[in-house]
Structure 1
């Protein structure tokens, strides 16, 4: 079976581990043959990799801007952002995030409703015409965003409620 599409999975630094609902979604994606793109940081990235390793899936790509990944729990292929060009002057973690959003067909974002970096990932994917499944674990909400208007509605509902 060849992978159908690439799903990047990222989240706010305040979210340390995927919950049951997210794990079920990841299991479904892996069962359908999706490539999963993850980062190499401690916290959520490491927890996602641990779950993917326990599922014995080969369809994982680890993104890092470091010379060697900090975390690559199953020896999956590593992808690095280009060091030059439009991302060359950006901080390392931003280069990595931009490379993931460029490579992904869509995104799964675990958001605490506060992290601007995670918001940037959602906005970047939407700007590229890619859909985003956003999950706010503390607020119990899951939403699929496709347009800037969808993102604005999410902000009004969860971040800036009346």
Structure 2
């Protein structure tokens, strides 16, 4: 079974039609889905999958219980380090989903550093990721780190700095010069 990491920006509360259609294709093909528990795009995608009564979903969470698990799916607790704060609380679960997935699909608002880093995590392992960029009204696929760098060329330069601040040293080493 092919495993797909679905995710996106917490500020997205309406999925674009092509993303909705792609999720329908994922369900029709009976691919496995890994998804986080965040509000925004994660919850919107969970709602869509729950509407399909789709069963091949795993919800990853850092807290004791998932913030959202709209289909009452299997929940996977990935604890964060005890001293983790802010974005670092959820980084371990995001890395685990990227590690387990074969592909990714992200809905990005063009400014979420967390979503950008999740795309990078897939790109480092040469795992394709379809990105619906709502800020630009476009869709692209990244296959590697060079594609990720190209994706960020269109974003505000501060987004790259914010993304780099969320990376592990190994993730930063994967970036070109």
Q: What residue number does 1:159 align with?
A: 155
Structure 1 110/145 Cα, relative in aligned 2: closer, same or farther at 3 Å? same
Contact 2:5-2:35 at 8 Å conserved across structures: yes
Tell me the CA shift for residue 88 of structure 1: 7.2
CA distance in 1: counterparts of 2:106 and 2:18, whole angstroms: 13
Q: Deviations along 1:37-84, whole A, 9 cap, x unmatched?
A: 11112222221111101111111111101111111112101112255x
Q: What residue number does 1:136 align with?
A: 133
Tell me the CA shift for residue 89 of structure 1: 6.0
Counting only pairs closer than 5 Å after superposition, residues 58-69 of structure 1 correspond to structure 2 as 58-69=55-66
Equivalent in 28, 33, 38 of residue 36 of structure 1 = 33
Q: What residue number does 1:8 align with?
A: 5
Gaps of 5+ in 1: none
CA distance in 2: counterparts of 1:68 and 1:155, whole angstroms: 33
Confirm or deny that 1:122 pairs with 2:119: yes
Q: What residue number does 1:75 align with?
A: 72
Contact 1:17-1:48 at 8 Å conserved across structures: no
RMSD of aligned Cα (Å)? 1.9
CA distance in 2: counterparts of 1:15 and 1:24, whole angstroms: 17
CA distance in 1: counterparts of 2:120 and 2:82, whole angstroms: 21
Contact 1:111-1:137 at 8 Å conserved across structures: yes
Tell me the CA shift for residue 24 of structure 1: 0.2
